Each structure stands twice: as C-alpha cells, then as structure tokens.
Amino acid sequence: MSTPTDALQRLRRVHEDAVLSALRSAGALSRAQLTERTGLSRTTLFAIVSDLMERGAVIETEAAPAEPRGRGRPATLVSLNPAAGLLLGLDLGRGRVRLAVANAAHQVVATASAGLPEGTGPLEQAEAAVRLVREVAAERGVGLGALEAVGLGLVGVVDEHVPAVTLTGPGAATGRTTPASPASGEPGPGAARVPARYLPLVLRVAEEFGVRVAVDNNARLAALAEATWGVARPVRDMVYVRWSVGVGGGFLSGGRLLRGAHGAGGELGHVSLDPAGPPCHCGGRGCLEGRIGGQRLLDACAARGVPLANLDALVTAAQDRVPAVCAVVAEAAADLGRVLAGTVTQLDPALVVVGGELAALGSLVLDPIRDAISGQALPRSPRQIEVTQADLGVNASAMGAIALLLHEEPSIPAHLRPAIP
Ligand SMILES: [Zn+2]
C-alpha cells in the first residue's frame, strides 16, 4: 500500500535523478545552473544537493579563478564524486566463485574467479568470496572504500521480494537482523531481502564490506547481464537459457526480469519431459536438467564408447566433430528445443539466447533449437524469433549481479544507473 511518505520518497528520488543526470551530462555545475537545468525550486535543489553530499554521491569544488564573477565571490560547483560508486558482483555457483567490479561509469574494471571444493557450504562460499575480493583489491589497486553495494548471484530459488529477512547496512555490520513487515513496502536504503537459508552467507558479505547487498538467482542474473551489456541489449523480451553442468534460465518481459511469485521464475531445467522419468534433486521426475545436464551428457558419451573427463573435454570433442559426441549433443539440444518451444509459445520473445559452456558449439546446439521453435511454437504466426549464442561468457552472472544493482535496487543513487538514451 502506498502512503504519503512513500510518495514523498519517490518524489525525492525523481528530484535526485534530475540533479544527478544533469551532473552526469554536463560535468560540474553551480547550484544556480542546476536550478535552471532541473527546473527545481531553489529550496528543493539546495536540500537535494546537501543530502547527496552527505551521502558522498556528489562533491563541491571551486570554479576556476578565470571565471569572472560579478560580486567577487568564487562560484562553488557541484560534481559527481569520482571516488564513489564501485559496484561488486559475486557469483557463488557450483564449485566456483566469480567476481566482477564496475566503476562509477559502469565499466567492468576487474574480473576474477576461484575454485571451491565439492560440497562447500554457504558460509565457506562467503569466506572464499571475501578472500577473492580482498586478493583482487590488493593486486589490482581497487579501493574498496569506494564500494557502494554488492550484488550476489546464488544457485536455486532466490526470491528478493518475499520479505523473509531485511538486513540494514549498519545493522548487518553488527549481525542484527529484523523481520520485514509485509506492510512496509519497498526496502529502505541499505536493505536487501533474502530467504532464510542464505542469511548467514549474505550477513557475512554485508558484515565484511559494510554495504547493502542484493541477491538473485545466478542464471537470471546472466540473463540480465546479456540484456545490459550483451547480445540482448536491443530487445525487451528475451528468453535466456544457460546450458552447463545444470540448466537454468531467465526471462525478460517488457525489459523486466521475471522472478515469479516464489522466486522460481526461469527454472527451465526443471520442466519435466517425462513424469515417470528418473527423480530429480528438485523433487520432480524426468526434468530437462536430468536429461541434458553436463553429467548426463558425459554418461551418454561414455555409453557410446567415448569416455570424457569433463564438460570442457566434451565441448572440445564436439568441436573436433567426434560423431558420437556430436550425436549426443544434437539429441540433447533437440530436447532443450522442445522445452524452449513451449516457453516461446507462452512468452513471445524477440530473442532466445543460449549461454553456458554448451553454447560455444554454435550451430550444433542452436540449429536443433531453431528447428524446434519454428516447428512447434505457433508455426503459422509470422514472427521473427532469433536464436543466438550469448556474448558474455563465464563472467555473465557476476556482471549480472552488478546489473541488478544498476537496474533494480531502488536505493542506488541515480548517477550509478545507466543513462537512458
Ligand atoms: Zn528437477
């Protein structure tokens, strides 16, 4: 429910956006120039600027002395704070943690990764992530003092919107958590909502860096990254699938990521192709992931006389056109295509993006998917649905965690969001 306070906060954010976007496009400006450019009243403008200064988003500088001033007082200019605005994206996947760091201009300035032993628990994942961040910061001279926020990509059902727990920035630093009131609406500044099972992990990261933390499923984040920096930039309606050891996905509709009512939106890998099939770790049977996931592909190759050590070896063998491996991949791609055809029928995207290790196989993977979509997804409707390989590679989810902060986190200062062209 919207209250007068919510409305005032929204209005304030609109005013902040106007000020920050003027500074972003024009550089340093005096308060008088800002008043003129934003159309805000002098009183409002002064209040917004001092609040932004308090939060470290903007700084004051003196105008060059060459600039003539009628009454002898040097003009004070306001500009974006160049030392603010580092964003950290962490992807805590199966067996590996990856990170990406973006500066205030939204350029990714560092990426890195570290392996995790099998069966690593959430807290150990958090510790490994913290170690990696500290190492990268020391090696590449990244000043973590300018860190604004952390985006976290996690495996499985992640629902940012179910108010399981709210962490506040300073509260998180002391380990204090408060249950969110369902009536409280939007999280306030410095708040992130996470399901309880991820709480220790998120708390650890928030405590370490003392900034707000936003979380989402890492396949959805990869979709968001492709829409922000990758192949899906021109479209607003997109189906993304990540085909790797597991099978995950993310859907964009009208430019927004679909999370669903329970945080399970995009779970393509758990669409059942056979209700009587083998049990899946999700509790279902005959899931797509069980038929085409990395381990299943390796088993199928071994059964056809081509034992392979891992997914990378499988991709190499397929690139070398080993017939049995190509057959296994093509059959699996046809299964994936069947599921995607259903998704495409229901969502009507402009683009289907295939990421993950298997996407490197190009037409061997993409053609069976194209065939399935053109044959099964409203074949008589004249629609142009492109099926293409993802752009961003292994860092997509870590970059997507940054994109999450840029797009979705309401408390992020507007100067950190991408400019709207
Ligand atoms: Zn399943």
pLDDT computed for residue 179 by the predictor? 33
Q: From ligand 1's centre to the CA of 287, what distance in Å? A: 5
Specify burial of residue 58 (Cβ count, 10 A radius: 0-12, 13-18, 19+).
buried
Q: From ligand 1's centre to the CA of 122, what distance in Å? A: 21
pLDDT in tens, the chain (421 residues): 556 777 787 788 788 878 877 877 677 899 999 999 999 999 999 999 998 888 777 888 887 665 555 556 667 899 877 667 788 999 998 889 999 998 765 667 789 999 998 888 888 999 999 999 999 989 887 778 778 889 999 988 776 543 333 444 433 333 333 333 332 333 333 333 566 778 888 889 988 988 888 889 999 999 999 998 899 988 999 999 999 999 999 999 998 899 888 888 999 999 999 999 999 998 999 999 999 999 999 999 999 999 999 999 999 999 999 999 999 999 999 999 999 999 999 999 999 999 999 999 999 999 999 999 999 888 888 788 999 999 998 999 999 999 888 776 444 444 444 444 3
Question: For residue 28, what are its two tokens?
Answer: 């340093």
Question: For residue 150, what are its two tokens?
Answer: 């952390």
Of 336, 348, 332, 328, the closest CA to residue 372 belongs to: 336
pLDDT computed for residue 58 by the predictor? 83
Q: From ligand 1's centre to the CA of 357, what distance in Å? A: 20
SS3 153: strand
Of 196, 252, 193, 204, the closest CA to residue 403 belongs to: 252
Q: From ligand 1's centre to the CA of 284, what distance in Å? A: 5
Q: Which helix (DSSP H) or strand (DSSP E) does residue 257 occupy?
A: strand 256-257
Encoded amino acid at 214, one letter = A
Distance, in Å, from the CA atom of 245 to the CA atom of 217, rounded to the nearest integer, reads: 16
Strands of 351-355's sheet, edge to edge? Answer: 256-257, 247-253, 238-243, 351-355, 386-389
pLDDT computed for residue 44 by the predictor? 94
Phi, psi of 365 (to 5 degrees): -95, -40
Q: Classify the C-alpha dihedral 392-397-400-405 as positive or negative.
A: negative
Q: From ligand 1's centre to the CA of 269, what distance in Å? A: 7
Question: For residue 154, what are its two tokens?
Answer: 């996690």
Q: From ligand 1's centre to the CA of 280, what distance in Å? A: 5
pLDDT computed for residue 416 by the predictor? 45
Question: Beta-carbon neighbour count of residue 24 at 10 Å?
Answer: 17
In contact, 275 and 286? CB cutoff 8 Å: yes
Q: From ligand 1's centre to the CA of 190, what distance in Å? A: 34
User: pTM, whole model, 2 decimals?
Assistant: 0.74
Query: Which residues, listed in sequence order, are joined to residue 355 by a DSSP beta bridge?
Result: 242
Question: For residue 189, what are its two tokens?
Answer: 């500044």
Q: From ligand 1's centre to the CA of 271, what distance in Å? A: 7
Q: From ligand 1's centre to the CA of 288, what distance in Å? A: 7
Q: From ligand 1's centre to the CA of 247, what distance in Å? A: 10
pLDDT computed for residue 288 by the predictor? 97
Q: From ligand 1's centre to the CA of 292, what distance in Å? A: 12
Q: From ligand 1's centre to the CA of 275, what distance in Å? A: 11
State the Rg of the chain over Cα: 24
pLDDT computed for residue 293 by the predictor? 96
Q: From ligand 1's centre to the CA of 267, what distance in Å? A: 9
Q: From ligand 1's centre to the CA of 272, what distance in Å? A: 7
Q: From ligand 1's centre to the CA of 381, what distance in Å? A: 32
State how beta strands 247-253 and 96-102 pair.
unpaired
Q: From ligand 1's centre to the CA of 296, what distance in Å? A: 13
Of 182, 352, 335, the closest CA to residue 252 belongs to: 352
Q: Which protein residues have a CB closer than 5 Å to ligand 1 (ion)?
A: 270, 280, 282, 284, 287
Q: From ligand 1's centre to the CA of 286, what distance in Å? A: 7
Q: Which helix (DSSP H) or strand (DSSP E) does residue 20 occupy?
A: helix 4-26
Q: From ligand 1's centre to the CA of 335, what distance in Å? A: 15
State how beta strands 386-389 and 108-115 pair.
unpaired
Question: For residue 399, what are its two tokens?
Answer: 């970059």
Query: Which residues, listed in sequence order, are joined to residue 108 by a DSSP beta bridge?
Result: 102
Specify burial of residue 278 (Cβ count, 10 A radius: 0-12, 13-18, 19+).
exposed
Q: From ligand 1's centre to the CA of 246, what distance in Å? A: 10
In 103-254, beta strands by DSSP E: 108-115, 147-154, 166-167, 192-193, 212-217, 238-243, 247-253
Q: From ligand 1's centre to the CA of 372, what distance in Å? A: 22
State how beta strands 192-193 and 166-167 pair.
antiparallel
Q: From ligand 1's centre to the CA of 268, what distance in Å? A: 9
